[in-house]
Copies of this chain bind each other. A is one copy, B any other.
Amino acid sequence: MSETPRGPQRLAPAESLGFVVNRLARLFAAALQRRIAPLGVAPAQFGVLLLLYERDGQTQAELARVFEVEQPTMANTLNRMQRDGLIKRAPDPSDARRALVRLTTKARRLQQPLITEARAVNAAAVEGLSAGELEALRGAAARVTANLRAP
């Protein structure tokens, strides 16, 4: 079936799937950043805000799990959000280890503008793709994600 590669081993970095995905992630982040920076929100903060809009008062560990980032990464992001007045941390009365992350009024006021900008980025990104192509993209990406998550 698939032939074992022979001869001198070479690799063109710019065509590897890893590079393509890395560049795409940077382009997504840059596009989002251009649109939400005027609102005083950074890309990683944006994701956390979206989640808290759906359900306020989660713990740091829960947020880290949803975004699949390490706990110190989320801790730093939340520190910056607290510094910028987007969240507060309130001690959990039922568990002295936890702090519940809560939106500030300032953050709540940003909900609709942020969602508008995010939709615009998404719409621009998938322009020209049919529903079927988009579904194929998501499906293939999900498979690759699962493949890389395993080991």
- The answer for the CA separation of A122 and B51 in the assembled complex, in Å, is 32
Q: Quick check: which of A19-27, A75-83, A84-92, A94-102 contacts chain B, the rest being far away?
A: A19-27
CB distance from A76 to the nearest CB of B (A): 15
Contacts A5-B119, A11-B50, A13-B50 known; A20 to B138 CB distance under 8 Å? yes
CB distance from A93 to the nearest CB of B (A): 28
- The answer for the CA separation of A19 and B14 in the assembled complex, in Å, is 22
B12, B122, B133, B144: the one contacting A16 at CB < 8 Å is B122
Contact size range, A: 35 or more
- The answer for the CA separation of A107 and B151 in the assembled complex, in Å, is 27
On A, residues with C-beta under 8 Å from B are 5, 9-14, 16-32, 34, 47, 50-51, 53-54, 66-68, 111-112, 115-116, 118-119, 121-122, 124-129, 133-134, 136-145, 147-149, 151
